[in-house]
Amino acid sequence: MKRVNLTGFSREKLVAFCTSLGESQYRAGQIFSWIHGKLAPSFAEMTDLPISLREQLEEVALLENLTVVSIQDSALTSSRKFLFQLSDGARIESVYLPDSGRHTICLSSQVGCSLDCTFCATGKMDYIRNLTAAEIVAQLIAIQRRVEERISNVVFMGMGEPFLNYDAVMKSASLINDDKGFAIGARKITISTAGIAKNIVRFADEGHRFRLAFSLNATDETSRSDIMPITKKYTLSDCLNALSYYCEKSRRRVTLEYVLMSGVNDSDRDAGRLVSITRRLKCKLNIIPYNPIPGEVVRRPTEEELNMFVRKLLPSRSALTVRWSQGKDINAACGQLYTQIGRGTARKQMEETATAS
């Protein structure tokens, strides 16, 4: 009999599971607290459960415990990059980012990515598969076990496009938000998308309280499709319409992420169009200097080029931040996550793991 993975179960689903075992409903709350509050790695550690139940759980259920392959510490900041191996042999990266009293974790939602944005290393891996909700939450659990500070913020900005794994991402965000578990506030959980317009609308219609970020990165259709092929399916116009709908429906603002690349999207016309876009939306704007990745000739802007571009946006934008990514020296900065194996190697590794088990 295949064991069920309880790490991805909501409290409601755990109630149904416990009931199916002939147990009282309150056992579900205990199990949930052990998984997401006390971070128990095994059923044996759930000491307020009867021994007979713990033994039964070992037979019919399991917990998602990711294998930590390596941890890299930045010499420049306090950020740490974690390389995890999943049960099928696939690998993902997550990043811990402490800064000014906030302790943020950047989670991955897919193994690889299908979008192939020119400024992002993850796209060079190609898409391998979606992560389950259990695998997404397990990244947070594994990192929280290894850092002293309590994780305060979560961003879905790691490997993959979150809105192409929509259901698992929303499920994992809800688990992270649950007040009987990690209890991280919805306003401290940010989900980023490169522009899956239909799911921006769905996100608005479903009334999620998590923050939404949109990777803009170019201000016209042609330029954006050159660096972000997803634009050929969901145009910039489609995305801006969806974002306008989101802002009106949710009465919340969206964060626009703009990776600044020298000679690519930093012209006077880019600045003018960017101002027009920000005036159209209820939003804040993050300017992110490009983080170099292997094999790309795109150049990171100099500090002078960055300041010149920002001056063109002011004073028209008051909610503007220049975000210098942490972890550039360990390839953990925005756009740099990559597990150093291509599709063929990953597939082979997954097959070997499956055969061995």
Which one is catalytic: 117, 239, 247, 334? 334
Virtual torsion, Cα 307, 308, 313, 317, nearest 10 deg: 20
- Neighbour tally for 87: CB within 10 Å: 18
Q: Which residues does 98 contact at the CB level (< 8 Å), separation at least 6? A: 78, 79, 104, 149
Which one is catalytic: 64, 93, 135, 161? 93
Quick one: the chain helix, strand, coil %, rounded to 5? 40, 20, 40
Catalytic residue list contains 93: yes
Catalytic residue list contains 120: no
Beta bridge partners of 112: 127
- Closest residue by Cα to residue 228 from 100, 315, 335: 335
What are the residue ranges of helices labelled H in the chain?
Answer: 11-20, 26-36, 51-60, 133-144, 166-177, 197-205, 221-227, 236-250, 268-280, 303-313, 343-356
Handedness of CA 184, 185, 188, 191 (dihedral sign): positive
- CA-derived radius of gyration, the chain: 21
Output phi, psi for 123, to 5 deg. -65, -20
93 close to 341: Cβ distance less than 8 angstroms: no
Q: Give me the active site residues, please.
A: 93, 334
